[in-house]
Each structure stands twice: as C-alpha cells, then as structure tokens.
Amino acid sequence: MREVDWNQLRAFHATATTGSLSAAARQLGLTQPTMSRQIAALEAGLGVDLFDRVGRKLVLTLIGAELRDRIAMMADAAESVPLVVNGRVDEIRGRVCISATDTYAAYILPEMVQRIRAEAPEITIVIAASNEVSDLHRREADIAIRHLPPARPGLVGDHLCDTQAYFYAAEAWIAHNGHPSSPADLAGMGMIAMDDAARFASYLQDIGIPMEVADFRLVSDSSVVIWEMVRRAMGVAPMLREVAERTPGVVRLLPGMPPIVVPIWLVTHEDLQLSPRIRVVQRILAEGLSGV
C-alpha cells in the first residue's frame, strides 16, 4: 500500500463527520467533485470501501467508522497547529473529561480548572468525580488523576510527585476527647471508615491502630462525606495534607507519626497525546499537581 495523502484523509474525515460531500466541501473550501475524487483515491489506495453509497447518501462502512475514529485526533491536531504556533491557546476548543477521586475533584481541582478556563476558555471541562478507576480505553475519561501507575497497554502516565496523608480531627473534637498520645489511642476515638471497612481495618492494624470492622460506627464510600464529618467533630480520619491545609478548624493528630505516602500520577491514553486541548489541560494539571 502506498503512503496515504493527508489531503485525502482530511477529505474523508470531513465527509465522515459532516455526513455529506457538500457539507464537507463547504467546511474545507473545496468543490464537491474534488472531495469525491480524493475519497475515491483514498479508497483505491487502501483497497477498501470506506462508504456505502445508498442512493445519494454516504454511509460509513465498519472499516470507515474505525478509520474516522483513528484519525480524529490527527485532524484535531492539524487544525490546531496554527493556534499553537501563534500562541492562541485561548482558541483551542473541545471537550476534556478529567477523572479524579471525589477528594481531589472537590478540593484540589477547582483552582486548576480556573486556570484552564483563563488560558483556554473554549475548552469544555467535564469532571468525573469517582473513587473507582476510570476506564480510559472506553473513554470514560480523557485524563485521570490517580494514585497508581498505568497498568494496561496503551496508557501513558507521569509520576508527578508523592503527597502525604495524616490523621486529623476538628478542634471541637480535641476539646472533648483530648490529644491521643499514640496510634493505639485512636482505636477508641471514633475512627471513620471508608466503605471497604475490612481493608481499612487491616491497614490500621498494620500501622499500630487495633481496629476491627465491628468497631466502626461511621462508614462512607465518599471521602468528601468523611471529611465533612471530621470537620463537624464527629470523628477521626486520614486525609491528604493539601486538603487539610485548606480546611480551617482541623488539627493534625500525632505529629510524630510517619505519613501515609500517596503517589500522584497523571494518566491518559496514548492516542490522545497529539490533541492540543489534551496537552493544554495536561500541562496545567501537571504544574498544579506538582506543587500541591
């Protein structure tokens, strides 16, 4: 197979996305016969049919639909090159979905999103707040902030930094219960658990806090909910340092206790690496997360 002409790919992509030769011709500023010749030449060069001709309508074949998806980011990148070269980041547009834990989504991401909005106001930011790992292969998100490195082929990630988590309580809680003097003291002081209480209890036991599943009286699958209960002096829980530092009225317990080390990874799919809007958002997130 000979090398594919980008003009042919561009003609095919415009036709596949607009649904007609006439609309694609208007979009690219070409004549309809020119568009038709370029698509025919592409099909001949590839040796496949990209469209089924149904009357006067063009319907993508299965191979055509797959090719359209494959070159979508190439088209996006090519169309955005002049904007990047001329520094016109504010004209890059499109949708970018960021997946993050509910803690990061609620307390850390908003200030970075403000910066994205200022630098690239035409980008639409969608935040998927979940403590489940998003499936980037199925495009549940474009970029994921994770605490683990990418483990599946096709994913790429940068280990930005390691942050720390400690145990915290509200000032009102301390006024009523006093300061614990050792990790073991936390066992009887209203520890709030994440939803997988058995796993959490096992972790606490490993670091010297003798907790069993039956000892927990407050449990939630949301770290935002847990943190709100801590803030209201309802119990004790671990939290990321950067979140606690943004929360007035809470106090770090057992200052001499070693921190819980939490890696911060920024992960995306390798197919998205050429997209200018993905790169803009990645850059701002990386800069912001590296300094948390």
The pLDDT mean for the chain works out to 88
Q: Judge if 183 and 63 occupy the same domain.
A: no
Q: Judge if 20 and 102 occupy the same domain.
A: no
Give the model confidence (pLDDT) of 255-281 as tens digits.
Answer: 999 999 999 999 998 878 778 889 899
- Among the listed residues 278, 275, 291, the one whose alpha carbon sits nearest the alpha carbon of residue 116: 278
H helix or E strand, kind and range, residue 58: strand 57-60
The pLDDT score that the predictor gives to residue 147 is: 93
Q: Judge if 270 and 257 occupy the same domain.
A: no
Cα distance between residue 22 and residue 30, in whole Å: 9
H helix or E strand, kind and range, residue 18: helix 6-18
The answer as to whether 80 is a domain residue is yes
The pLDDT score that the predictor gives to residue 92 is: 80
Residue 251 backbone class (left: φ over 0; alpha: ψ -120 to 50; beta: rest): beta
Is residue 1 predicted with pLDDT exceeding 80? no
pLDDT-above-70 percentage for the chain:
92
Two tokens, residue 176: 């009523």
**In whole angstroms, how far apart are CA 264 and each of 130, 142, 190?**
16, 17, 29
Mean pLDDT over 134-149 rounds to 88
The pLDDT score that the predictor gives to residue 91 is: 64
Q: Judge if 151 and 177 occupy the same domain.
A: no
**CATH assignment at residue 276:** 3.40.190.10
Higher-confidence residue: 29 or 183?
A: 183
The pLDDT score that the predictor gives to residue 69 is: 75
CA atoms within 13 A on the CB side of 153: 0
Cα distance between residue 127 and residue 113, in whole Å: 10
Q: Could you count the other beta carbons within 10 Å of the beta carbon of residue 170?
A: 20
Give the model confidence (pLDDT) of 184-243 as tens digits.
Answer: 999 989 999 988 999 999 999 999 999 999 999 999 999 999 999 999 999 999 999 999
Q: Judge if 128 and 55 occupy the same domain.
A: no
In this prediction, residue 112 has a pLDDT band, given cuts at 50, 70 and 90, of: very high
Q: Judge if 20 and 74 occupy the same domain.
A: yes
The answer as to whether 36 is a domain residue is yes
Q: Judge if 27 and 14 occupy the same domain.
A: yes
Cα distance between residue 173 and residue 176, in whole Å: 5
CA 222 to chain centre: 18
The answer as to whether 71 is a domain residue is yes
Q: Judge if 128 and 270 occupy the same domain.
A: yes
Mean pLDDT over 3-13 rounds to 82
The answer as to whether 1 is a domain residue is no
Cα distance between residue 291 and residue 190, in whole Å: 32
Q: Could you count the other beta carbons within 10 Å of the beta carbon of residue 4?
A: 14
The answer as to whether 115 is a domain residue is yes
Strand runs labelled E in 130-259: 143-146, 155-170, 193-194, 219-220, 237-240, 250-252
**CATH assignment at residue 20:** 1.10.10.10
Number of domains in the chain: 3
In this prediction, residue 85 has a pLDDT band, given cuts at 50, 70 and 90, of: very low
Mean pLDDT over 26-32 rounds to 84
Q: Judge if 137 and 279 occupy the same domain.
A: yes
The pLDDT score that the predictor gives to residue 214 is: 94
The answer as to whether 228 is a domain residue is yes
Residue 203: which domain range? 163-262
The answer as to whether 143 is a domain residue is yes
